[in-house]
Amino acid sequence: MSERRDYVFKIEGMSCGGCVTAVEKIVRRVDPQAQIKVDLAAARAEVATQASHEAVSEALTKAGYEASLQAA
């Protein structure tokens, strides 16, 4: 993998604490060493990962969340 990068994703479809846990698990399947902070109220996640933002976004989308990159 490449170097660690910081991303902020807008995540649509989260409605509870279970969704927050699910998003964290999904990101960690892509990169087990990822650092993630999910903000349910703001519908966003800050992710520090070695994976590409495309891989993270695709995994979240496949799981039923609409994820889009806000900032890198």
Q: What is the pTM of this model?
A: 0.90
User: Could you tell me the residue range of the domain that residue 57 belongs to?
Assistant: 5-71
Q: Can you give the pLDDT of all 72 residues of the chain as single tens digits?
A: 469 999 999 999 999 999 999 999 999 999 999 999 999 999 999 999 999 999 999 999 999 999 999 955
Taking every pair of Cα atoms in the chain, the longest distance, rounded to a whole number of angstroms, is 33
* Burial zone of 50 (CB within 10 Å; 0-12 exposed, 13-18 middle, 19+ buried): middle
DSSP bridge pairs for 10: 44, 68
Q: What is residue 7's predicted lDDT score, i.e. its pLDDT?
A: 96
CATH number for the domain that contains residue 53: 3.30.70.100
Q: What is residue 72's predicted lDDT score, i.e. its pLDDT?
A: 52
Q: Tell the residue number behind the tokens 């703001």, with chain if given.
A: 42
Number of domains into which the chain is organized: 1
**Residue type at 62?**
K
Q: What is residue 33's predicted lDDT score, i.e. its pLDDT?
A: 96
Q: What is residue 36's predicted lDDT score, i.e. its pLDDT?
A: 97
Q: Tell me how far apart the alpha carbons of residues 64 and 6 are, in angstroms, rounded to a whole number.
A: 23
